[in-house]
Chains A and B, each alone.
Chain A
Amino acid sequence: MQTPTSLTDPGAASRRCDTTGLSVCLTAQRFIKLNAVSAVVFLLLGGIAAILLALTRWQAVHLLPVDWFYRILTFHGLNMLIFWILLFEIAVLYFACTVPLNAKLFSRKIAWVSFGMMLVGAIMVDYIILMGKADVLMTSYLPLLAHPLFYLGIILVAVGTLIGVFNYFATLYIAKRDNTYEGSVPLVTFGATAAAIIAVITLLHGAIVMIPTFTFSMGWTPEPDPMWYRIIWWGLGHQSQQVNVCAMVAIWYLVAYLTTGAKPVNETVCRTAFLLYILFINIASAHHLLVDPGVSAGWKIWNTSYAMYLAVLASMIHGFTVPASVEIAMREKGHIKGLFGWVTSAPWRNPAFSGVTLSLLIFGFIGGITGVTLGTQQINIIAHNTLRITGHFHATVVGGTTLAFMALTYYVIPLIFRRDFICRGLARVQPWMFGGGILLVSIGMSFAGSMGVPRRSWDIESAGIYGPAAHLMLGIMGIGAILAVLGLLLFVLLCVGTLLFGEKTNGRPMADWGVAQQQGNVQETSLAHDHWAMKGTVVLTLVFLVCFAVYYFANWKALADVWPVR
Chain B
Amino acid sequence: MSIEAPPRDWFKAPAGAEKLWIGLALLWCFVMSIMMPFWHFYGKQNSRGEAYSVEPTAFMERTATFIEANQVGDENGMPIVEPAPGSDAYLAAMMWSWYPILKLREGETYRIHLSSMDLNHGFSLQPLNMNFQVLPGYDHVLTLTPTSKGEFTIVCNEFCGIGHDKMIGKIIVE
Contacts and interface: CB of A to CB of B under 8 A. Distances in A.
B71 interface: no
Contacts of B55: none
Interface string A476-503: 0000000000000000000000000000
A225 B120 CA distance: 12
Contact of B5 (A185, A293, A377, A552): A185
A313 B164 CA distance: 39
Highest count of chain B CB atoms <10 Å: which of A321, A378, A380, A565: A565
B46 A188 contact: no
B17 A452 contact: no
B131 A381 contact: yes
Contacts of A456: 157-159, 164
A143 B131 CA distance: 21
Contact of A267 (B10, B37, B47): B10
B168 A463 contact: yes
A87 B153 CA distance: 43
A310 interface: yes
B47 A565 contact: yes
B29 interface: yes
B26 interface: yes
A181 B49 CA distance: 52
Contacts of A317: 21-22, 25
B159 A188 contact: no
Contacts of B13: 268
Contacts, number: 305
B49 A376 contact: no
A562 B129 contact: yes
Given A383-B131, A538-B20, A460 B165 contact: yes
Interface stretch (B60-68, B74-82, B83-91, B141-149): B141-149
A297 B162 contact: no
Highest count of chain B CB atoms <10 Å: which of A99, A289, A450, A531: A531
Given A293-B51, A549-B28, A566-B46, A226 B5 contact: no
Interface residues of B, number: 85
Interface in B114-135: 114, 118-120, 122, 124, 126-135
A294 interface: yes
Interface string B10-45: 111111111111101110111011011101100111
B36 A465 contact: no
A268 B14 contact: yes
A188 B17 contact: no
Contact of A559 (B11, B45, B166): B45
7 contacts: A186-B1, A186-B4, A300-B49, A378-B47, A456-B159, A562-B128, A564-B147
Nearest first, the 7 closest Cβ-Cβ pairs linking A and B are A531-B16, A293-B51, A293-B140, A454-B157, A309-B29, A564-B44, A267-B10
Given A258-B3, A384-B122, 12 more contacts: A183-B5, A268-B12, A324-B17, A376-B32, A378-B47, A452-B124, A457-B155, A530-B16, A534-B17, A564-B45, A565-B130, A566-B142
Interface of A: 66-67, 70, 99-100, 135, 137, 141, 143-144, 181-188, 225-227, 230, 253-254, 256-258, 261-269, 289-297, 299-301, 304-306, 309-310, 312-313, 316-317, 320-321, 324, 372, 376-378, 380-386, 450-452, 454-460, 462-465, 530-535, 537-538, 541, 545, 548-549, 552, 556, 559-560, 562-566
